[in-house]
Structure 1
Amino acid sequence: MEVPQALRQVFDSFPLKTYPSITASTSSQLEVLEARKFYFTSSSKTTSLAKSSSIILGINNVVEYRDIILPSDPVSLSQCLIICHKNGLKLPLATRKGITDENASNCLMTLSHQAAPDSQLPILIEDNKKNDGGEPIRSLIPSYSIVNSNKKDLSDSSDILINDMMDTKLIDLWLTCLMVDPNVNPPVLSKIFTLESFPSVTSSLSGLYISALLQDIPRWRSYEIRHSNLFRNSKLKDTITSVVRKSDNSALQAFYIHQLSEVRDLLELISDYVLESDCMILKMKLTGFLLSVDLILYDTELGKIIKQCSYLEKAYSNI
């Protein structure tokens, strides 16, 4: 059967050709990924587990304090400190950016929160090396599982109660602060979250990016479920800053004021307990909360209260 002339011309115009395979990653892509990594350093206390496996803690962003690299949000910072304590690792240093020792495979890595299965960070990525030299087994542990695993290490009922207070009362307050405090603006959010892909804060599009982030925040840590009354009449509202917030703003504002009225006494209660306790998990969790607020949210109403917390000086000495 003869191929019609018109069809032949099409095939002649676009001849079949075999193209080489595309590499999984290019050098430029690897450079971008490496720029997002901040390596822990080993010490004489580094465990054999930390040396034989790769631990990557996926976090929102980092903040620098006296050449020390710290995760920018309280949950990630707390988990980072706990990982260091459990595995005998030292916090990343800004002066060692891009420098690794022979065992440096454990690191912090900044990610978009949308990279997580439940759209919240941190996530823990572990590569456990096989004894037979085969490909390592990679596992991804979501945020809620990381937090729950810490609770399993607690046996004392009072420790568990204080831990729950920090996981709910304090973190809920931090989330409310992000949503409604007038001093949490785009530049502040860009310090907490990895927003390099955002347009400049003066761009008319930046509000749309940030509004998407703020609509995800109520879902974190089951906040929207615990405080469902705040979202019963939820709707999209344009604010003056073009940020769309999925909430009844007046109800959230009132809730924020109520939380602030309670947190001073709550912090003193927790601080007094942690000072007398030998539980390192509680110390690291309180440290993570206080430092993340004091280093970034210092101009907020929450930040002003944190400045007066009796444990703040001790928190800085813990790192």
Structure 2
Amino acid sequence: MKIPEPLTRLFNSVPLKIIKDENTISKFDNPIPLSDSVPLVLGVYNTFQYNELILPTDPISLATYLRLIQRNNLQLSSSSTGLTKIPFRGSPYNSLPILIGDSIESIEKIQQNISKHFEKEEYFINDFLDTKLYDLWITCLLVEDIDNETYYRIFGVKDFEVYDLKSEIPKWNNYKVRFPTLNLKKFYEIQLEEFKDYVELDNLKLASFIIIINEFLPFTKIAKLIPTEVIEKSYEILNQTN
């Protein structure tokens, strides 16, 4: 059986090391399959430790990971179960997360598969947040003064790789295609005003975003808009997922 070209590119680019805990489930063995193959592994930029948990360091990957855990009726463990860190250049899309099974699925495909299981109201809320939060995340990275050490902590990149990553960020979520002539600073202010209207929504995706901002970007304008009680609620949502 021939290995698909995207997988060949991925495995040739970096030796994958999947960290497993032999005492826990170490794959997304899904009773409601998101893909036709198991095991499934989520490829992410980097990970961080929260209490005994190992979690992705960017909000898109964190929300995706937690939703996969939920959908597969798994428990978050003390190891990076179902996670592997890979360079963003190792992805066929030059962005992460990706879902690795017998093929490689982009974040767009992952979101489509997960959203099939949503009720109508939840579907529209998540679709709204997929766009709003992803765009806000991109604008934040482009506008805020973020040092290289923070980029390393979030994305696992350093030195010249930071420049390469920054050149890819405007391409995420078709951002540059949809907003080719934006004044980014003005757009950021508009996004921040909108953020005030939905920051208190009770939602896993929003909680993931707030946790990452709190963990890695507490100096940003976004962080200053998040009430303390919302931060606390976001961590409660995380803990409930476990």
Q: CA deviation at 1:289?
A: 1.3
- Render the CA deviation track for 1:226-257: whole Å, top value 9, x for unaligned: 21222xxxxxxxxxxxxxxxxxxxx2122212
Q: Flag the structure with more relative contact order, 1 or 2, with Cα contacts below 8 A and sequence separation at least 6.
A: 2
User: Structure 1's 298 and 38: CA in aligned 2 closer, same or farther, altered over 3 A?
Assistant: farther
User: Structure 1's 141 and 92: CA in aligned 2 closer, same or farther, altered over 3 A?
Assistant: same
Gaps of 5+ in 2: 1-14
Q: Which amino acid aligns with 1:300?
A: T
- 2:38 maps to 1:75: no
The count of corresponding residues between Structure 1 and Structure 2 is 219
Equivalent residue number for residue 108 of structure 1: 83
Q: Which amino acid aligns with 2:62?
A: L
- 2:95 maps to 1:120: yes
Q: CA deviation at 1:92?
A: 3.7
Q: Which amino acid aligns with 1:110?
A: K
Q: CA deviation at 1:39?
A: 5.3
Larger Rg: 1
* TM-score, length of structure 2 as denominator length: 0.80
- Structure 1's consecutive aligned runs of 4 or more residues displaced over 4 angstroms after TM superposition are 46-50
- Contact 1:38/1:109 (8 A) holds in 2: no
> What is the distance in 2 between the residues matched to 1:92 and 1:179?
33
User: Structure 1's 210 and 47: CA in aligned 2 closer, same or farther, altered over 3 A?
Assistant: closer
- Render the CA deviation track for 1:67-93: whole Å, top value 9, x for unaligned: 211101111101110111111222242
Q: Which amino acid aligns with 2:43?
A: G
Partner SS for 1:75? helix
- 2:105 maps to 1:141: yes
Partner SS for 2:84? strand
Q: CA deviation at 1:48?
A: 5.9
User: Structure 1's 163 and 317: CA in aligned 2 closer, same or farther, altered over 3 A?
Assistant: same
Equivalent residue number for residue 69 of structure 2: 84
- 2:173 maps to 1:221: yes
- Contact 2:99/2:105 (8 A) holds in 1: yes
* TM-score, length of structure 1 as denominator length: 0.62
- Render the CA deviation track for 1:186-207: whole Å, top value 9, x for unaligned: 1111111122xx3xxxxxxx2x
Q: CA deviation at 1:217?
A: 0.3
Q: Which amino acid aligns with 2:25?
A: S
Partner SS for 1:229? coil
Q: CA deviation at 1:299?
A: 1.4
Q: Which amino acid aligns with 2:19?
A: K
Corresponding residue to 1:193 among 119, 132, 155? 155
Q: CA deviation at 1:287?
A: 2.1
Equivalent residue number for residue 255 of structure 1: 187
Gaps of 5+ in 1: 1-31, 98-105, 127-137, 199-205, 231-250, 275-282
Corresponding residue to 1:313 among 226, 232, 237? 232
Equivalent residue number for residue 160 of structure 1: 123
Partner SS for 1:58? strand
- Render the CA deviation track for 1:271-314: whole Å, top value 9, x for unaligned: 1xx3xxxxxxxx321221111111111111112223x1643322
Equivalent residue number for residue 4 of structure 1: none
> What is the distance in 2 between the residues matched to 1:70 and 1:47?
20
* Aligned-residue identity in percent: 32
Partner SS for 1:37? coil
Equivalent residue number for residue 285 of structure 1: 205
Equivalent residue number for residue 181 of structure 1: 144
- Contact 1:267/1:309 (8 A) holds in 2: no
- Contact 1:42/1:88 (8 A) holds in 2: no
- Contact 2:32/2:71 (8 A) holds in 1: no
